[in-house]
Structure 1
Amino acid sequence: MSTVGDAHLRTPKVHGPDVSVGAARLFFLDGHVHALLLVSAAGVLVAVVERDDLAGLPDGARAGSVGRLGGRVAAPGDDLEDTRRAMAARGQRRLAVVDSDGVLLGLLCLKRHGRGFCSAADVAARDADRATHRAG
């Protein structure tokens, strides 16, 4: 059995728990971004914010006030295929992966077609492509 721990990205972009809604909106300008991970100094996941959570909020508000963990996290030992099917059924592209103490371990990223997960190599290639387009 493959597990979530076998497939998650281990170095997701994270933000402190006090990030503003305005800063979160800037982060979400990248179409590949589906979840903002708010993490304490101790590495504990405080909240997962999705783009739609920010609707109607002033830029100066704290994004964490509308983030949540329920339905947005997985454990590394969870069955990968069961998790994939559940994410696809919900139209959900990202799940934070946390240990039993709530420490963020990574991010599970369902590909757009819903049949597999992004790898670190996929992310690196996309970042390199983006850098090439900016430089050109």
Structure 2
Amino acid sequence: MREPTVGDVVVRLPKTLPVDTSVAQARACFADDHVHMLLLTEAGRLLGTLLREDLDEAADGPALAYSHVAGRTVSADLPAEAARRLLVSRGQRRLAVVDGDGVLVGLLCLKRRLTGFCGDADVAARAAERGT
């Protein structure tokens, strides 16, 4: 049996934000404690990721200026268990999944217990609970 890959466990339709998102808008998104990483995209390409800690109190203006891509992406063909171990070793729970051209494939979301991944069904269930 084939070992599952990141592509098998990725959330395929994560919420994305446009590259002209402001810091104020990004902070508003982080008011939801289920939001760990914001994905800034343009024409399907990932141009930046934001974590809460990227935005210090003085941050203002375009959120893209505070974003990062390096160290926050993974390929869909990486074995899922290798990605889980990578996230745990870094103390992270999210990685953007991109193809070779930087096109966003989805979001890899490690569950709170660090033993598996949230999938599309988990995200849909939480959204239904919140009525969104």
TM-score, structure 1 normalization: 0.91
Q: Which has the higher strand share?
A: 2
Q: Show the counterpart of 1:122.
A: 122
**1:48 is matched with which residue?**
49
Taking the aligned partners of 2:62 and 2:11, their CA distance within structure 1 comes to: 26
| Structure 1 residue 119, shift from structure 2 partner | 1.3
- Aligned counterparts of 1:131 and 1:43: Cα–Cα separation in 2: 27
Task: Kindly state the Cα deviation for residue 58 of structure 1 after the two structures are TM-superposed.
Answer: 3.8
Q: Distance in 2 between matches of 1:25 and 1:126?
A: 21
Q: How many percent identity over aligned positions?
A: 51
Counterpart Cα distance in 2 of 1:100 and 1:57:
35
Q: What is the RMSD computed on CA atoms of the aligned residues?
A: 1.2
Deviating beyond 6 angstroms after TM superposition, the runs of 4 or more aligned structure 1 residues are none
> Counterparts of 1:35 and 1:86 in 2: how far apart (Å)?
17
Where in structure 2 are the equivalents of 1:38-117 lying within 5 Å?
38-40=40-42, 42-59=43-60, 61-117=61-117
Task: Give the distance between the partners of 1:57 and 1:105, measured in 2 at CA.
Answer: 32
What is residue 22 of structure 1 aligned with on the other side?
24
Q: Which amino acid aligns with 1:37?
A: L
Amino acid at match of 2:116: G
Q: What TM-score does the superposition give when structure 2 sets the normalisation length? A: 0.94
Counterpart CA distance in 2 for 1:57 and 1:78 is 37
Contact 1:94 1:108 in 2 (8 A): yes
Distance in 1 between the 2:100 and 2:86 partners?
A: 21
Quote the Cα distance in structure 1 between the aligned partners of 2:121 and 2:5. Answer: 19
Unaligned runs of 5+ in 1: none
SS at match of 1:12: coil
The 2-side partners of 1:58 and 1:90 are apart by 25
